[in-house]
Amino acid sequence: MNKVTQIEPALPPVLIRLESLRKSFAAKGGDFHAVRDVTLQIREGDIFGIIGRSGAGKSTLLRLINLLERPDAGSVWFAGRKLGALSRSALREERQSIGMIFQQFNLLANASVFDNVAFPLRIHGRHTRGEVTERVRECLAIVGLADKADSYPAQLSGGQKQRVAIARALASRPSVLLCDEPTSALDAETTRSVLDVLADINRRFGVTIVIVTHELPVVRALCRHVAVMEEGRVVELLPVHALDTANTTLGRELAGLPAEVANA
């Protein structure tokens, strides 16, 4: 009887590769080493979480991915290109493939929802008015706010503001979304709706998502893989289902935490 050979499915290609990253900041009493020799890779289409205690370096690491913070040492590779070696114009071009979502939404208060979402399309000047209008409407429909185009941020709830921010990040058709504490200012019900939007974007469009959060339920609900950070280092890199058994101080405590890890 012939044996059946089982073929393992091919892994998706690596989209983001971080090599020996270090970042320090001047602080009273000496330098603060926010990121210490971090090496990791994130595959295309993944939803990747970064978790740890306050001061662990999570948000700094996220900002190093698109060079909002420049590393003191090490390199960042995105889609096979070394970002630190690019010219200013080439880096600006590459960043259009990297959307960013912030904790406090960062919307333009005096601009309508439509104009907030249109902003990244207009500043590059490559799109006609009709193309901008069509793309803004598409993005607002994706996040469930098609009826809010003429509203202003002050007229929106916190969850709606964050969904506008997601629509704005999607406008340039990025291949990755970097999310820095996107739900920490939201209540539990609103958090679930925002996570549903992010999961839908990943499922429908294959957008890779990297999310920093201090909320353990967010990691459990959304992510597939997670990096656990302690004192600027990635001390565990594992599937989310194995998070409670991580062989670190944080990992050993996670099972006993009722809802969240300390704020970053």
For residue 263, what pLDDT is reported? Answer: 37
Report the mean per-residue pLDDT for the chain. Answer: 89
pLDDT above 60: residue 178: yes
Give the span between the Cα atoms of 244 and 247, in whole angstroms.
Answer: 9
Burial of 151 (0-12, 13-18, 19+ CB in 10 A): middle
The fold for domain 9-97+175-264 equals Rossmann fold (3.40.50)
pLDDT tens readout for residues 50-71: 998 878 899 999 999 999 999 9
Helices (H), the chain: 58-65, 88-95, 113-124, 129-142, 158-170, 188-205, 216-222, 249-254
Locate the domains of the chain by residue range: 9-97+175-264, 105-173
pTM more than 0.85: yes
For residue 10, what pLDDT is reported? Answer: 83
Within 8 A by CB and 6+ apart from 214, the residues are 51, 54, 181, 184, 260, 261, 262, 263, 264
Give the span between the Cα atoms of 119 and 99, in whole angstroms.
Answer: 13
- Residues 5-24 have a mean pLDDT of 87
Name the residue with higher pLDDT: 256 or 208.
Answer: 208
pLDDT above 70: residue 112: yes
pLDDT tens readout for residues 229-259: 999 999 989 899 887 765 555 555 554 444 4
